[in-house]
Amino acid sequence: MMKRTKLVYTLVLLLPFLITYESQAQRTCGTDIYHAKCMEDERFAKQFDTAQKVLHANIDFLKKSACNDPILIPVAVHFNGNIDDSDPTCLINKSFQQIEVMNADFGAYNFEIISFLELANACPDTYAAEVLSQGSCIQFYLASKNHPDCQAASDLIGGFAITVGKHSWPNASDCWSGYLNIFVENDLDHLGLAPLFGGLNPNGNGIQIAAGAFGGIGSSCTSGVPLDSNVPFHLGRTGTHEAGHYFGLRHVFEGCGNADQIEDTPDQEESNTGSPLVDFSDCISDAINSCGSQDFFFSFLDYVDDASMWIFTDDQCQVMEQTAMMGAFLSDKGSPIVRSKYQFEFVDINNNPITLPEETKIIFHVNTQTDTLSPVDLFLENSLVYPSPYIPPLQDLKISFYNDTNVTHSLSALDLLAIQKHILNIQPFTNPFQSLAADTNNSGSLSALDLLDVQKVLLAINPAFAGKASYSFYFENCSNCQILTLPAPDGSVQNIKVTVVKNGNVN
């Protein structure tokens, strides 16, 4: 049983594929050992306890404040060990990819959230959807301007806050205070490490990530050593996990009795590894479930494989946001990526809200190339976020929908009669979408040929219409518009209305 739940509405996610791999190793994080060592210092321990009490006193866990302004965190990346600058493009790309994964995870638009929502739908008493974060206000960006004077410009890769062989864990010195510093190294005995609540005092400190676990989107690349190559820890989740620690989150497996100090996570005493599964018939998982309740093995703060890490809870996000707000992070260090949430509304020809027909595909058009995906793979509650780790910024990105299944669904002799009456001018259509639905040969006008085309499909003589798919999709505010140039992201929620026309069906 959950310790407490609150009403939270989920906002965004992308792509619901749950990719599974054969685990090659167990996740390891050095944060607990590092923190325990720090707490041996009496002065540090006293300061830490005081700061933690002040932080928690500033949070009202019963009320989630609106995120009117993002908390912008400039990021600097410092490569060390055997990583060199032989492939600067690799270093830059992986830095951007890692930050984009962290933004998606912190912003609750990572594609794996759909897996949690499926659990919540099947087992609402065990995995309550209400605990899922709407997305934190924290937004990371790779610093690209106004770099510290103490760092020579020639040391920076591509003009970004990326260095090679200049700074190593645990601190990049006062030179890089006010940044979240990410230290990437090879030959570590752990995947990552972070100072707990390090974000309260960003004095050049930061998080450490093993080279093979740094990046997250796209294939591995090599600059001295391979980056983003350690399957199943190659999806960028080590960065998310360690950033969680940096902004005040403990492991969810700290112990029974709310040991992680987060009310909306279940008690847990042992870490989970690999990719646990849940039996929907009884809502019991094969996770360890060490405190008599079902573990949130899918938390970003457990030890499972990257693909099985799905969510932050609402209370976790509030702790991270408060930590970030209390930290003295610098501003004006670059331009964060501007995104929008695109909220789609699907209606029928009579403007009644409908569910998008099954097996509909969404097509992305970029110049002369197209990429076809299922909206189920991109939408949560008919919305998507762009740009994201899964849809990068593109010039004049266009979208359309396509569905050529269930061609005879909802067709009847009444449609034939209505089309005939319109053609004979006995009872003309009053809705322009009726005419579009009846023009099944796509000639631009209605005739007996359309009537014959619908009749042959209805009688199963022909398997499909002569000139159209079984459905057509028309965007609002453009004439006969079936391909829409996606409005430029501006940081707002942008509403897009789509009329779904079942071709041949005019009633």
Q: Calculate the CA dihedral of residues 463, 469, 471, 473 and round it to 10 degrees.
A: 180
Residue 63 has a CB neighbour count (10 Å cut-off) of: 8
CA distances from 80 to 164, 225, 250, 286 (A): 6, 10, 27, 39
SS3 labels along 465-483: CCCCCCEEEEECCCCCCCC
Per-residue tens of pLDDT for the chain, all 507 residues: 333 222 222 222 222 332 333 334 689 999 999 999 999 999 999 999 999 999 989 888 877 766 778 999 999 999 999 999 999 999 999 999 999 999 999 999 998 998 999 999 999 999 999 999 988 999 999 999 999 999 999 999 999 999 999 999 999 999 999 999 999 999 999 999 999 999 999 999 999 999 999 999 888 999 999 999 999 999 999 999 999 999 999 999 999 999 999 999 999 999 999 999 999 999 999 999 999 999 999 999 999 999 999 999 999 999 999 999 999 999 999 988 999 999 999 999 999 999 999 999 999 998 888 888 777 667 777 889 999 888 888 888 999 999 999 898 889 999 999 999 999 999 999 999 999 999 999 999 999 999 999 999 999 999 999 999 999 999 997 666 999 999 999 989 999 999 999 999 998
Residue carrying the six token digits 């989107």: 217
User: What is the third-level CATH fold of 31-59+69-326?
Assistant: Collagenase (Catalytic Domain) (3.40.390)
The one-letter code for the residue type at 88 is P
d(CA 114, CA 13): 7
Return the sign of the alpha-carbon dihedral for residues 149, 153, 156, 159. Answer: positive
d(CA 46, CA 66): 33
CA distances from 114 to 16, 110, 382, 405, 487 (A): 5, 9, 12, 25, 25
The domain defined by 340-502 carries CATH number 1.10.1330.10: yes
Residue ranges of the domains in the chain? 31-59+69-326, 340-502
- Strands 71-79 and 180-185 come out as parallel
The one-letter code for the residue type at 430 is T
Contact 115, 18 (CB under 8 A): yes
Residue 274 is predicted with a pLDDT of 96
d(CA 2, CA 132): 13
Residue 23 is predicted with a pLDDT of 35
**Hey, which residues does 401 pair with through a beta bridge?**
362
Residue 225 has a CB neighbour count (10 Å cut-off) of: 17
The one-letter code for the residue type at 208 is Q
Closest Cα partner for 246 from 116, 151, 173, 138? 138
Which tokens is 337 given?
A: 């990526």
Angle at 470 between CA 467 and CA 475, to 5 degrees: 90
d(CA 462, CA 441): 13
DSSP 42-109: HHHHHHHHHHHHHHHHT--TTSPPP-SS-EEEEEEEEE-TT--SS-HHHHHHHHHHHHHHHHHHHHT-
Distance of CA 287 to the CA centre of its chain: 24
Closest Cα partner for 356 from 401, 391, 390? 401
261 burial level (CB within 10 Å; 0-12, 13-18, 19+): middle
Closest Cα partner for 182 from 211, 155, 222, 153? 211
d(CA 290, CA 305): 19
